[in-house]
Amino acid sequence: MTDTTEGDTSRSPRFTHWCALFVFSTIVLGAAVEAANNNGESGDPKTESNEKWSIVCAACTFAFCALVILMHFNAVTSLFIVGTKIEGLLCLVLAAFWSGLVAVVADSRHGLAVNEKGAVSNGNLYYFSWAGLICAVTLLTGYLRSAFQIDIQGELKTRSARLSVWTAHMAAAIVVMGSSTNIYKNDCVNAFVGDEFCRRTKLGIGLGAVGTFFALVVVFMKIYTSKAPFLLEAVFGGILVGSFAFGTAYITSEQGPGSPLGNLYYFTWGCFLSSFLLCSSLYDDYNSAKSMGRGDNNDLAMEEGNKADGAAEEDQI
């Protein structure tokens, strides 16, 4: 009995992720259909196209996940899906689908899940789209780990310290830059809201661009050289944590573009937290190196002392 149970569970290591993605796609499909019905004929071809895309994407994911789950329950059909190239292709396609879906529903210009102010207007569509993207990426990384022995998380850890944090910061900074740009176009170019609001929106664009550039430089150096100069990381980290400490308060306050709960709010805070984690890790590494240096100096002093004692004893003899 034990061997059979272990064999069954080992055959479907990603079954729970497929089930979770099925649930997320069901919720997103229902929310997308409801949003399209409520908007009716908006008159904006781009908005109508995005509505159709979100429905098609969620419907395809729903169908794919339902088929994969059903195939898991049969010993014969599971051989065609579990750990095969078909599963890998589906994981890759779904990750691409959900990346496009998040980009569409979180775009404030078309008002599917986020209104023109950047605030979440459709919680189910917004939050479960992000949940579906995370689940799809997890599925893809899980497949790569099992099929090709590619441990992405392990590679990031062993490749160089803080590479995963820098990568996360770069992704968050890109979202901050993109969201701020959309808000600036809507509220400062097409319709002028106010000087203070637009200044803070420009700050969001600038901080996102700087954060993206700094992180891109460090990630590039860590990937291609396995390390980045500690001093460079320290300077970049200090600038980022100081900038986002001020910028987060300035952007997410009542008069800022990030005050409504949406992409700009969440990812501005994400940039601040990731930059804080970077500085914390750098400080720990500095203290560790400092302690090792003290230990080496103490060992050297003890060695010199022993040599001096030995020389004194020889003189006495």
Dihedral angle, C-alpha 193, 194, 195, 200, nearest 10 °: -60
Do 138 and 82 form a contact (C-beta atoms < 8 A)?
A: no
Does a structural domain hold residue 265?
Answer: yes
Per-residue pLDDT at 164: 84
Per-residue pLDDT at 4: 40
Per-residue pLDDT at 3: 40
- Tell me how far apart the alpha carbons of residues 284 and 166 are, in angstroms, rounded to a whole number: 16
Better-scored residue on pLDDT, 93 or 194: 93
167 and 288 share a domain? yes
Does a structural domain hold residue 7?
Answer: no
Matching residue, tokens 């040599």: 307
Does a structural domain hold residue 309?
Answer: no
Q: What percent of the chain has pLDDT above 90?
A: 38
Q: Which letter does DSSP use for residue 187 in this model?
A: I
- Structural domain of residue 106, as residue ranges? 12-150
191 and 96 share a domain? no
- Tell me how far apart the alpha carbons of residues 214 and 242 are, in angstroms, rounded to a whole number: 14
103 and 29 share a domain? yes
Do 132 and 24 form a contact (C-beta atoms < 8 A)?
A: yes
- Tell me how far apart the alpha carbons of residues 306 and 74 are, in angstroms, rounded to a whole number: 74
240 and 206 share a domain? yes
156 and 175 share a domain? yes
pLDDT value at 138 more than 70: yes
Average pLDDT on 177-190 reads: 85
Q: Does the CA dihedral 135-241-215-219 come out positive or negative?
A: negative
Does a structural domain hold residue 298?
Answer: no
Last residue of a domain, one of 118, 150, 182: 150
Domain count, the chain: 2
Amino acid at 60: C
